[in-house]
Structure 1
């Protein structure tokens, strides 16, 4: 596959598809003619997504499940193959967060972040690449973060998990080359902070509502994910801010980390108070079935109140 027209008829698995990047990517891919297979914990919400896709003339199936459970990932791969006969692209769009100073966040929340963001991604990658080897080709798209390169204060376990995502992608590409599987590609998407429901679903022990400077619109990340399905890059920062941050960290790592920490601290000071919460990282919520998280609008109200 070399361009978006080649997505017609492609079978694409999208994890974390009930909201944010996953939902937006599934809708866009289906509109381009791909047959999509989606998974998330909120099965009833996935049914609504499938209904929306099929009503528009697309093809989709839903597999409710938790990506941190390897049995659920196995069911996902099996369902895709039984229904469509193969898997052309697997989009590992998994990501939850726990915000706050590292020691203020309960250890079970840190553990859950690693279970989903790293182990869930490994389970998906393992299922995908084994199928790709059996087929002789395929593309794995791992959704990381600019935190994969530039760690951010108040997001320690999230940053650690996303650094591991990039490390996994790099290592997988080496393995595949050594084994001669040149038709199997692995790419990593690295967005800046993006306005999606991720922020309100995250566990939060910072004492403040989540926010970050100059948030990007989710559409640029959705477009990058779709583009990576046919042209994956091992490292793909998304948007000018992610590119600038990535470049700066390669040249001036210590300075870039100090600046990013100050930005995070400054933004936290501007935010509204918020009681400690585990968010939806352990138990899914019924709300937030959207692509845009509405964080930028809240930030405008907070900034106006301070003016």
Structure 2
């Protein structure tokens, strides 16, 4: 009998090998979406690339073909259900079926909650959360028609923890995680367990995301370290397609943060707030901008230029710091429990 790792269920992976599978990826014009497309193309998959920026999509599609995959670029607005359904129909029409779907499209508005315009807050909800809802609605019938498949949601570790100045983004990522859990339950109790629903929880990733975000902080934005390359998330998604599980962290810091949050949520909430307040901003001043919340500006780049040659050192230093903080959190939680039990 094959021993399964915790979190896995038998009978849930792709029904075909990756080199015979069709995978739809939203938010494919930059960052994690682009890196995932390249990772799948190297394995011979057919990738259907969706985003608002058609020139960037065509650039990514061409690179996917050079890497050995098949590719179709479909400009798509994930806030429009009909647009997402047309995406699914184009994918199935071009390659015969859909075997997997990756909900990855996301935008953010950074700033204090009371300084983010309501219209921008609503738009972040529409792109991130409603966009995922539309992905579910479009993908599930096709995955069922293919005899099963995998739907992966890129949720961020901020689906489990929280970070200041990211209220709209935090809310959408928590919502995506809850949506995935609920739909997974519904599929299971209605006899459709051949469709897997997976959620990825990445740490800070080196993508153009922070450069593209709406910014109402008055300061330069940057991802809090440790910062991981987008390929870390891409390879996590590939593993989920092959061996699905409910959730998977991408980047050791994400796993550590999740553990700390579960051990001592109030303490870690305060500590992470302090940490993010000091590491999320650079020295430069910035005027208010709506970024790419309303208009696409992707250029087919995987990375955001944050790592540089010091990237590995920064990741290691921050990881040691987080580990030390985790030890302190665990010790304090244990002391607290001991006192309560007396």
Query: Do the structures match in fold with TM over 0.5?
Result: yes
Q: Size of the alignment, in residue pairs?
A: 300
The answer as to 2:293 corresponding to 1:274 is no
Instruction: Show the counterpart of 2:157.
Output: 146
Instruction: Show the counterpart of 1:194.
Output: 205
**How far apart are 1:31 and its partner, in Å?**
1.1
The answer as to 2:158 corresponding to 1:158 is no
Say if 1:224 and 1:238, in contact at 8 Å, map to a contact too.
Answer: yes
List runs of 5+ in structure 2 lacking aligned partners. 1-11, 315-342
Return the alpha-carbon distance in structure 1 between the equivalents of residues 310 and 165 of structure 2.
18
Instruction: Show the counterpart of 1:116.
Output: 127
**How far apart are 1:289 and its partner, in Å?**
2.4
**How far apart are 1:272 and its partner, in Å?**
1.9
* Pick aligned residue for 2:236 from 213, 224, 238: 224
Say if 1:41 and 1:284, in contact at 8 Å, map to a contact too.
Answer: yes
Instruction: Show the counterpart of 2:47.
Output: 36
Instruction: Show the counterpart of 1:183.
Output: 194
Say if 1:11 and 1:34, in contact at 8 Å, map to a contact too.
Answer: yes
Judged with a 3 Å threshold, the aligned counterparts in structure 2 of structure 1 residues 44 and 101 are, in CA distance, closer, same or farther, namely: same
Return the alpha-carbon distance in structure 1 between the equivalents of residues 40 and 100 of structure 2.
11
The answer as to 2:219 corresponding to 1:208 is yes
Secondary structure of the equivalent of 2:106?
Answer: coil
**How far apart are 1:271 and its partner, in Å?**
3.2
* Pick aligned residue for 1:103 from 114, 130, 149: 114
- Matches for 1:243-254 after TM superposition, within 5 Å: 243-254=255-266
> Higher Cα Rg: structure 1 or 2?
2
**How far apart are 1:2 and its partner, in Å?**
5.2
* Pick aligned residue for 2:253 from 210, 222, 241: 241
Once the two structures are superposed, residues 88-136 of structure 1 have per-residue CA deviations (whole angstroms, 9 ceiling, x without a partner) of 0001112111111011111111011000000000100111112222333
Secondary structure of the equivalent of 2:269?
Answer: helix
- Matches for 1:167-178 after TM superposition, within 5 Å: 167-178=178-189
Instruction: Show the counterpart of 2:35.
Output: 24
* Pick aligned residue for 2:62 from 20, 45, 51: 51
* Pick aligned residue for 1:86 from 80, 94, 97: 97
The answer as to 2:23 corresponding to 1:7 is no
Instruction: Show the counterpart of 1:257.
Output: 269
* Pick aligned residue for 1:131 from 142, 148, 155: 142
Return the alpha-carbon distance in structure 2 between the equivalents of residues 59 and 155 of structure 1.
36
Bigger mean CA offset, 45-54 vs 97-106: 45-54
Return the alpha-carbon distance in structure 2 between the equivalents of residues 75 and 54 of structure 1.
23
Once the two structures are superposed, residues 188-228 of structure 1 have per-residue CA deviations (whole angstroms, 9 ceiling, x without a partner) of 00001111001111101111111212222212111111111
Return the alpha-carbon distance in structure 2 between the equivalents of residues 281 and 155 of structure 1.
14
Secondary structure of the equivalent of 2:58?
Answer: helix
Q: TM-score, normalization: structure 2?
A: 0.83
List runs of 5+ in structure 1 lacking aligned partners. none
**How far apart are 1:85 and its partner, in Å?**
1.1
Return the alpha-carbon distance in structure 2 between the equivalents of residues 65 and 298 of structure 1.
36
Say if 2:220 and 2:282, in contact at 8 Å, map to a contact too.
Answer: no
Return the alpha-carbon distance in structure 2 between the equivalents of residues 204 and 194 of structure 1.
18
Judged with a 3 Å threshold, the aligned counterparts in structure 2 of structure 1 residues 51 and 247 are, in CA distance, closer, same or farther, namely: same
Secondary structure of the equivalent of 1:271?
Answer: strand
**How far apart are 1:288 and its partner, in Å?**
4.2
